[in-house]
């Protein structure tokens, strides 16, 4: 089946009693056994739940993997994936990643014995130079958050393979509609399901998708052992959201492209970060490994921090809020919001400036979004 059809139908038909057209919610903590050595596939919702499993089947199909485990938040997905490694293991990551990921790596997991090197991952020589004998993973975030750098997934996955390491890609920004990292050799995919997969700003969740049997078994074990699984109701909400993933992503991209083109020409804007623009340094690579350019963009505003802070408070349709990927457009100031958990030095090294503003374009009409942004810039 085509992608759009799988969004609607995969993992849905679980009701053998009444043939419900939507996936039932099983809000039970425990399941009755037929005998001490026999149950009907589920024993306790921490370990597995029919509603959650339906969502896992759906995402597995969309990403082209063999298994998926859905957890409570996007950060829980990253935490689960990083539990594959042990003290002394070395992980290479881009330096311009989501602030919460940086905090987990730099402040939390490094205190527990994992070692991290943050590099400009668009520079493949820098990635190769960072490899050490104890390197066990290369972490890929593409497009990066918030600077929209495009990472060559096939090249980085090959570097990891040659080093005897695995590659993990955060595919939150693109969703499997626009990007499928497994097709480029990546070993594990993580998502914040809070964002585009759910798409309605009404639930938090995450997932870890695998394409290798051994890794799949280990992720399943870790999710259960650590109690990371998402609730049945949250899983149901995300499964409902995925049904409209394809048309939503098209609408997000339509608005983001129009807005990026306007901002690229606006005299108040110093730089636009959007891979759909031919001026973006990763534009050609993006066309090779993505089927679209998504709904996220960032800008550097002329005039520094004061002007950037005023801009984010003057919009009307763009809501001043963290997160992304919902039907409504959002605008935020990374230095004090999504990336406040990074040290100032780390933000500076990554290129996240005091004048950087991140925008999540919703599914509103592009003309209205452009008019709102124009009035905010003029204000």
- All residues at 6 or more sequence positions from 254 whose CB lies less than 8 Å from its CB, including other chains: 366
> Which residue's structure tokens are 């975030």?
141
Q: What is the rounded CA–CA span in Å between residue 42 and residue 290?
A: 38
User: Span 3-242: which CATH code?
Assistant: 3.40.640.10
Residue 123: what pLDDT? 98
- All residues at 6 or more sequence positions from 246 whose CB lies less than 8 Å from its CB, including other chains: 3, 4, 7, 177
Residue 362: what pLDDT? 98
Dump pLDDT digits (tens) for 152-195. 999 999 999 999 999 999 999 999 999 999 999 999 999 999 99
Which SS3 state, helix, strand or coil, does residue 279 take?
coil
Those residues of the chain that have pLDDT short of 50 are: none
Residue 60: what pLDDT? 98
Cβ burial, residue 374 (10 Å; 0-12/13-18/19+): middle
Residue 15: what pLDDT? 87
| Cβ atoms 268, 83 nearer than 8 A | no
Active site residues: 46, 98, 170, 195
Phi, psi of 271 (to 5 degrees): -160, 145
- All residues at 6 or more sequence positions from 336 whose CB lies less than 8 Å from its CB, including other chains: none
> Which residue's structure tokens are 């100032």?
344
Residues of the chain with CATH 3.40.640.10: 3-242
| Cβ atoms 117, 131 nearer than 8 A | no
In whole angstroms, how far apart are CA 2 and each of 8, 174, 236, 293, 376? Answer: 10, 18, 22, 20, 41
Q: What is the rounded CA–CA span in Å between residue 81 and residue 169?
A: 11
Residues of the chain with CATH 3.90.1150.10: 246-378
> Which residue's structure tokens are 């005039």?
303
Architecture of domain 246-378: Alpha-Beta Complex (3.90)
Alpha-helix residue ranges (DSSP H) falling in 290-332: 305-314
Rama region for 133: left / alpha / beta (φ>0; ψ in -120 to 50; rest): alpha
Asked whether the whole model's pTM tops 0.95, one would answer yes
Closest CA to 292 of 159, 193, 196: 196
Residue 16: what pLDDT? 87
């Amino acid at each position: 089946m085509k992608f759009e059809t799988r969004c609607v139908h995969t993992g849905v038909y679980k009701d053998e009693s009444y043939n419900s057209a939507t996936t039932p919610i099983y809000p039970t903590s425990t399941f009755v056994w037929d005998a001490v050595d026999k149950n009907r596939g589920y024993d306790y919702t921490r370990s597995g739940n029919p509603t959650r499993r339906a969502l896992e089947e759906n995402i597995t199909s969309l990403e082209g993997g063999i298994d998926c485990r859905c957890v409570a938040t996007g950060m829980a997905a990253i935490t689960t994936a990083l539990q594959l490694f042990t003290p002394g293991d070395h992980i290479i990551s881009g330096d311009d990643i989501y602030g919460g990921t940086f905090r987990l790596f730099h402040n939390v997991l490094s205190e527990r014995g994992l070692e991290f090197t943050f590099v400009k991952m668009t520079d493949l020589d820098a990635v190769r130079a960072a490899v050490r004998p104890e390197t066990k993973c290369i972490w890929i975030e593409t497009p990066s958050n918030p600077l929209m750098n495009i990472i060559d997934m096939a090249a980085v996955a090959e570097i990891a393979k040659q080093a005897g390491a695995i590659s993990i890609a955060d595919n939150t920004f693109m969703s499997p509609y626009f990007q499928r990292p497994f097709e480029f050799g990546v070993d594990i995919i993580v998502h914040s399901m809070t964002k585009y997969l759910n798409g309605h700003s009404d639930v938090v969740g995450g997932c870890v998708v695998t394409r290798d049997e051994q890794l799949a078994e280990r992720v399943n074990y870790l999710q259960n052992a650590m109690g990371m699984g998402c609730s049945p109701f949250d899983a149901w909400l995300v499964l409902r959201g995925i049904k409209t993933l394809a048309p939503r992503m098209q609408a997000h991209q339509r608005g983001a492209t129009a807005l990026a083109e306007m901002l690229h020409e606006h005299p108040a804007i110093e730089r636009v970060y959007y891979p759909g623009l031919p001026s973006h340094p990763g534009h050609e690579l993006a066309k090779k490994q993505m089927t679209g350019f998504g709904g996220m963009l960032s800008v550097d505003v002329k005039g520094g921090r004061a002007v950037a802070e005023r801009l984010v408070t003057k919009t009307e349709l763009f809501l001043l809020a963290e997160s992304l990927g919902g039907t409504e457009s959002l605008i935020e100031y990374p230095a004090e919001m999504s990336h406040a958990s990074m040290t100032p030095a780390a933000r500076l090294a990554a290129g996240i400036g005091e004048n950087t503003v991140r925008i999540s374009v919703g599914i509103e009409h592009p003309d209205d979004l452009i008019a709102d942004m124009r009035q905010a810039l003029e204000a």
